[in-house]
């Protein structure tokens, strides 16, 4: 081997160099070729020369090693370690799965990268590993949204973009293909000469036919030629060739080292030494990587096998004795555990069937690293783990209970609880208080089985209070208590006629929960009361309770409660005709959500804004994703989805999509019935009444509205009807005339008139819109000036009319509007009707 010192040198054809130099001219470049065509090698060569030619060039590199969106996102954030503030912001944002979050990511990246004068290159390698994940919308959005100095380079074995996406990108997209990477016969001859080999022209011709320019096959053939003086047989697959050329010729110690370390997707020299457990680890690694182009080391000291070499070493590892494999995986898991890489630790310990260590990881991590994509793996671990080992880890059992709830595996919660009780009965090590603490944790975890039943949940919390000497492990006070819902009353009002009882239960029960959770949801009982007061039209009491909720929430940084308070304040600002205040609240809310890195609650704010703009009749001003009905794209937790659908229905009404609202009846009824969201059901019947009336089904509309009233009025709920005045005023009047809830409807109509006037004020001041009340444009101009108490002479002068013409116009206006009485009284009534005080 020493006779050919340049055999492991990188070779780049002049043709490929030219193609790589074009990357600078595109916002996004794809490098697509099958395994072993040298994509990563080519990119590494290009990156080194890029930095050499542009000293300030920034290369951000990410190699994807698992089919895990969590791992992808951790790697993406890690690539920006040179931008620490941005990294923390992205970690707080989480992987952006919806349009709103993708837009937020683009905004964060733009803010961080725009000030730089340097060219920035984001390189993502092995993207094919995540081919089942919805990465394309994210990548396309970033390629169009980031500064011109940012270039995205994507490496994959498979096509990343479909034909439509490629066409849409047009000249923004650069493409490097397998043909660019493939070596021609002439290039093979140049490569052989560089390596010090001297094959004949005929042999080069044979090699070109044998390998079809596939660089990995060429490299293996060069290694074989240096050793035996002939090419390899074309009948053998690439993996067998790697075994023959790269593994079998090695001394046994080097071969065993390669096979063992291949367990890890990537590793450092320290990690290799830890796994090998012998002092010659670094020496072996240095020698092997120097003489094997299939082992690479990046600038951060991280080693990585090429896929083909890793495939071979893992196949060899699988042939080892079970005891050796388990011991090796367990040691790998311990390395990850010690370095707080808990996801990797879980999977390594599971491969080792080292259940004690896996449960110890669960206790240390408190399952915070696990999310929905790990659910199947988590269920299998707990299912395979022997029950006696589970019972030896009572803290892990408690964590399993709450994890099973978040992953919607309810039967396992009961099994974990049974095992915990049995473990407590058998335990002789824990103190009495330690046992009580664990049982208290279990009570809190089990309470979620009674979600939306305030009293039933509280029974668990009270038992937990009696048991716990500390804050429960089952609750993270930083989580959104509302599950990202915008209204506490909409979440927890679950029985017709039960609002006052629920209100009293919230006041009585929440202090017990605060005690075990360190104030998680602090202020929620006041928020419930504030919402209820508002829905009843008791606005002063609503304002007082809302301020109490806001103060309590701020004491414990309960951001999900704060946004509920802000939403109620926005609704009250709208009712007061104060658009500036409503808008200021919205802007301030978005600013503090960004400042506090509460990115998941931005969707909640979008919901609130969409609802308010729907009430104002301006759906085009709502957040685009909501106005377009892309509800599946948003990261709203399941208990908040009834409100999401309620607000979307209101947008559909504002868009005059009457049949779409009617068509959604069954879907919404099923959704609202899961947790008995009564207020959402009331809104649905009102929305159906509005839509049915518009499509000429008057009798059905009346029946829907009667149903809504029968569900709302036992609790004194009136504001949904007042806020829907644009659609149902005539229907309400008709029901009232039929003797159906006449007094209550009269009160609703009074509130509706107040809401209507406030809305008209906002529309006139901010959209220059007004009602015409059946008047012509000229008549409306005269009426507006008369309502501002201007004399006939002043009106005539302003509009360049004769005074007699103004007098005649006013007479017709009063007739059209059915305004009678003295001249003075007529003007006062006109003023009250128009309310135009711009």
pLDDT tens digits for range 581-604: 999 999 999 999 999 999 889 999
Long-range contacts formed by 194-197: CB under 8 A, 24+ apart: 194/6, 194/9, 194/11, 195/4, 195/6, 195/7, 195/9, 195/11, 195/222, 195/226, 196/3, 196/4, 196/5, 196/6, 196/7, 197/4, 197/222, 197/225, 197/226
Question: For 388-411, how does the pLDDT look when each residue is reduced to its tens digit (9 = 90+)?
Answer: 999 999 999 999 998 888 787 888
Contact 42, 227 (CB under 8 A): no
CA–centroid distance for 20 within its chain: 35
The pLDDT value given to residue 235: 56
Long-range contacts formed by 269-273: CB under 8 A, 24+ apart: 269/301, 269/303, 271/335, 272/303
The pLDDT value given to residue 507: 97
**391: part of which helix (H) or strand (E)?**
helix 387-391
Q: Please, which pLDDT band fits residue 577 given cuts at 50, 70 and 90?
A: very high
For the domain bounded by 14-181, which CATH number is listed?
Answer: 3.40.50.300
Listed in order, strand segments (DSSP E) in 141-268 are 150-156, 173-176
Reply yes or no on whether the pLDDT at 2 is more than 70. no
557-763 maps to CATH 1.10.287: no
Q: What percent of the chain has pLDDT over 90?
A: 63
Quick one: 382 exposed, middle or buried, by C-beta within 10 A (0-12, 13-18, 19+)? Answer: buried
At 143 the three-state DSSP class reads: helix
Least confident of 216-220, 311-315, 746-750: 216-220
Alpha-carbon radius of gyration of the chain: 35
How far is Cα 277 from Cα 272, in angstroms, rounded to an integer?
Answer: 8
How far is Cα 283 from Cα 269, in angstroms, rounded to an integer?
Answer: 10
The pLDDT value given to residue 9: 83
Q: What is the residue whose two structure tokens read 């959209």?
A: 767
How far is Cα 256 from Cα 203, in angstroms, rounded to an integer?
Answer: 35
Kindly give the interhelix angle for 803-816 and 823-834, rounded to the nearest 10 degrees.
70
Q: Please, which pLDDT band fits residue 377 given cuts at 50, 70 and 90?
A: very high
The torsion of the CA quartet 274, 277, 282, 285, rounded to 10 degrees, works out to -90
Query: Structure tokens of 54?
Result: 């542009």
Residues 6 or more apart in contact with residue 53 via CB below 8 angstroms? none
Quick one: 49 exposed, middle or buried, by C-beta within 10 A (0-12, 13-18, 19+)? Answer: middle
The pLDDT value given to residue 1: 42
Closest alpha carbon to 515 in 481, 469, 555, 546: 469
Question: For 350-368, how does the pLDDT look when each residue is reduced to its tens digit (9 = 90+)?
Answer: 999 999 999 999 999 988 8
The pLDDT value given to residue 233: 66
The pLDDT value given to residue 283: 92
Residues in the chain: 838
Query: Structure tokens of 514?
Result: 């605060």
Closest alpha carbon to 714 in 500, 488, 490: 500
The stretches of 427-523 forming alpha helices (DSSP H) are 432-447, 454-467, 488-492, 499-517
Degrees to nearest 5, angle at CA 205 with 204 and 210: 95
Q: What is the residue whose two structure tokens read 């020496």?
A: 283
- Across the chain, mean pLDDT equals 91
Query: Structure tokens of 692?
Result: 């049915």
- Name the residue ranges covered by the structural domains of the chain: 14-181, 185-235, 557-763, 772-834
Question: For 260-278, how does the pLDDT look when each residue is reduced to its tens digit (9 = 90+)?
Answer: 999 999 999 999 999 999 9
Mean pLDDT of 62-73: 88
Q: Please, which pLDDT band fits residue 836 given cuts at 50, 70 and 90?
A: very low
Reply yes or no on whether the pLDDT at 435 is more than 90. yes
Mean pLDDT of 53-57: 87
The two beta strands, 303-305 and 120-125, are unpaired
Degrees to nearest 5, angle at CA 244 with 243 and 249: 100
How far is Cα 740 from Cα 746, in angstroms, rounded to an integer?
Answer: 11
Mean pLDDT of 672-690: 96
Reply yes or no on whether the pLDDT at 216 is more than 70. yes
Query: Structure tokens of 437?
Result: 């603490």
The pLDDT value given to residue 133: 62
Query: Structure tokens of 207?
Result: 């090699």
Q: What percent of the chain has pLDDT over 70?
A: 97
Question: For 134-186, how does the pLDDT look when each residue is reduced to its tens digit (9 = 90+)?
Answer: 688 888 888 888 999 999 999 998 888 888 888 888 999 999 999 999 999 99
Phi first, then psi: what are they for 97, rounded to 5°?
Answer: -95, -10
Mean pLDDT of 103-122: 91
Contact 401, 366 (CB under 8 A): no
CA distances 9 to 16, 52, 192, 411, 416, Å, are 16, 19, 11, 59, 57
Q: Please, which pLDDT band fits residue 837 given cuts at 50, 70 and 90?
A: very low
What does the buried/exposed string (b/e) look like for 450-471 if buried means 16 or more CB atoms within 10 Å of the residue's CB? ebebbeebbebbbbbbebbeeb
Contact 719, 747 (CB under 8 A): no
Contact 446, 401 (CB under 8 A): yes
Residues 6 or more apart in contact with residue 438 via CB below 8 angstroms? 394, 395, 397, 398, 420, 424, 430
Q: How many helices (H) and strands (E) does the chain have?
A: 45, 7
How far is Cα 652 from Cα 577, in angstroms, rounded to an integer?
Answer: 23
Question: Which one of 1.10.10.10, 2.40.40.20, 1.10.760.10, 1.20.81.30 gives the CATH number of domain 772-834?
Answer: 1.10.10.10
Longest C-alpha distance within the chain, in Å?
A: 117
Question: For 453-488, how does the pLDDT look when each residue is reduced to its tens digit (9 = 90+)?
Answer: 999 999 999 999 999 999 998 888 998 999 999 999
């Amino acid at each position: 081997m020493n006779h050919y010192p340049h055999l492991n040198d990188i070779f780049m054809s002049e043709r490929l160099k030219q193609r790589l130099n074009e990357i600078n001219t595109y916002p996004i470049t794809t490098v697509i070729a099958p395994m072993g065509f040298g994509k990563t090698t080519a990119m590494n060569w290009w990156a080194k020369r890029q930095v050499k030619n542009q000293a300030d060039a920034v290369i951000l590199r990410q190699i994807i090693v698992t089919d895990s969106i969590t791992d992808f996102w951790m790697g993406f954030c890690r690539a920006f370690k040179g931008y620490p503030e941005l990294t923390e912001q992205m970690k707080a944002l989480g992987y952006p799965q919806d349009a709103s979050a993708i837009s937020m990511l683009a905004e964060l990246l733009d803010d961080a990268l725009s000030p730089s004068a340097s060219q920035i290159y984001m390189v993502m390698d092995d993207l094919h590993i995540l081919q089942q994940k919805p990465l394309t919308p994210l990548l396309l959005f970033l390629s169009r949204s980031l500064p011109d100095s940012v270039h995205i380079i994507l490496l994959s074995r498979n096509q990343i973009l479909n034909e439509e996406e490629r066409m849409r990108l047009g000249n923004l997209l650069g493409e490097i293909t397998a043909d660019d990477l493939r070596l021609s016969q002439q290039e093979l001859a140049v490569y052989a000469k560089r390596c010090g080999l001297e094959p004949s022209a005929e042999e080069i011709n044979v090699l070109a036919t044998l390998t079809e320019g596939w660089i990995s096959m060429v490299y293996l053939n060069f290694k074989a030629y240096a050793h035996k003086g002939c090419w390899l047989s074309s009948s053998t697959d690439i993996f067998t060739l790697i075994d023959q050329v790269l593994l079998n010729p090695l001394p046994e110690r080097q071969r065993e080292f390669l096979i063992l370390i291949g367990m890890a997707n990537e590793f450092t020299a320290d990690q290799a030494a830890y796994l090998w457990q012998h002092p010659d680890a670094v020496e072996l690694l240095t020698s092997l990587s120097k003489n094997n182009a299939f082992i690479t080391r990046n600038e951060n000291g991280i080693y990585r096998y090429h896929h083909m070499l890793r495939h071979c070493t893992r196949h060899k590892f699988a042939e080892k004795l079970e005891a050796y494999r388990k011991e090796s995986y367990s040691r790998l898991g311990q390395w990850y555990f010690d370095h707080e890489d808990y996801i990797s630790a879980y999977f390594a310990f599971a491969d080792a069937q080292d259940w004690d260590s896996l449960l110890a990881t669960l206790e240390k991590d408190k399952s915070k690293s696990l999310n929905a994509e790990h659910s199947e793996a988590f269920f299998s671990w707990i299912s395979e783990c022997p029950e006696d080992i589970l019972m030896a880890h009572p803290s892990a059992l408690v964590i399993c209970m709450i994890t099973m709830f978040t992953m919607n595996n309810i039967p396992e919660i009961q099994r974990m609880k049974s095992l915990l009780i049995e473990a407590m009965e058998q335990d002789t090590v824990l103190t009495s208080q330690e046992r009580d603490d664990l049982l208290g944790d279990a009570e809190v975890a089990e309470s979620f089985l009674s979600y939306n039943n305030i009293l039933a949940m509280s029974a668990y919390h009270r038992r937990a209070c009696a048991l716990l000497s500390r804050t429960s492990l089952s609750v993270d006070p930083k989580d959104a208590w509302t599950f990202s819902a915008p209204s506490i009353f909409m979440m927890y009002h679950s029985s017709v006629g039960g609002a006052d009882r629920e209100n009293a239960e919230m006041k009585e029960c929440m202090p017990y929960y605060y005690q075990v959770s360190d104030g998680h949801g602090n202020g929620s009982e006041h928020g419930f009361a504030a919402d209820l007061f508002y829905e009843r039209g008791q606005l002063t009491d609503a304002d007082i309770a809302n301020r109490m909720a806001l103060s309590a929430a701020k004491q414990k940084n309960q951001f999900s409660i704060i946004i509920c308070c802000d939403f109620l304040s926005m609704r009250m600002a709208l009712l007061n005709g104060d658009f500036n205040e409503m808008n200021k609240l919205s802007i301030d809310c978005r600013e503090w959500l960004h400042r506090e890195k509460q990115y998941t609650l931005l969707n909640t704010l979008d919901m609130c804004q969409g609802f308010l703009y729907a009430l104002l009749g301006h759906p085009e001003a709502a957040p685009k994703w909501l106005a377009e009905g892309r509800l599946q794209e948003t990261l709203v937790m399941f208990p908040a989805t009834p409100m999401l659908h309620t607000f979307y229905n209101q947008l559909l009404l504002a868009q005059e999509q009457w049949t779409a609202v009617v068509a959604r009846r069954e879907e919404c009824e099923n959704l609202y019935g899961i947790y008995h969201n009564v207020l959402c059901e009331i809104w649905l019947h009102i929305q159906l009444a509005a839509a049915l009336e518009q499509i000429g089904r008057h009798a059905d509309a009346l029946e829907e509205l009667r149903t809504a009233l029968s569900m709302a009025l036992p609790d004194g709920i009136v504001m949904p009807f007042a806020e829907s005045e644009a659609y149902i005023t005539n229907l309400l009047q008709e029901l009232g005339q039929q003797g159906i809830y006449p007094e209550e409807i009269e009160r609703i109509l009074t509130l509706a008139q107040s809401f209507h006037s406030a809305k008209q004020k906002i529309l006139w001041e901010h959209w220059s819109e007004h009602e015409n009340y059946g008047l012509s444009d000229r008549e409306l101009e005269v009426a507006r000036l008369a309502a501002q108490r201007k004399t006939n002479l002043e009106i005539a002068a302003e509009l360049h009319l004769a005074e007699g013409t103004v007098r005649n116009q006013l007479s017709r206006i009063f007739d059209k509007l059915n305004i009678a009485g003295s001249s003075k009284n007529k003007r006062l009534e006109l003023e009250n009707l128009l309310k135009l005080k711009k």
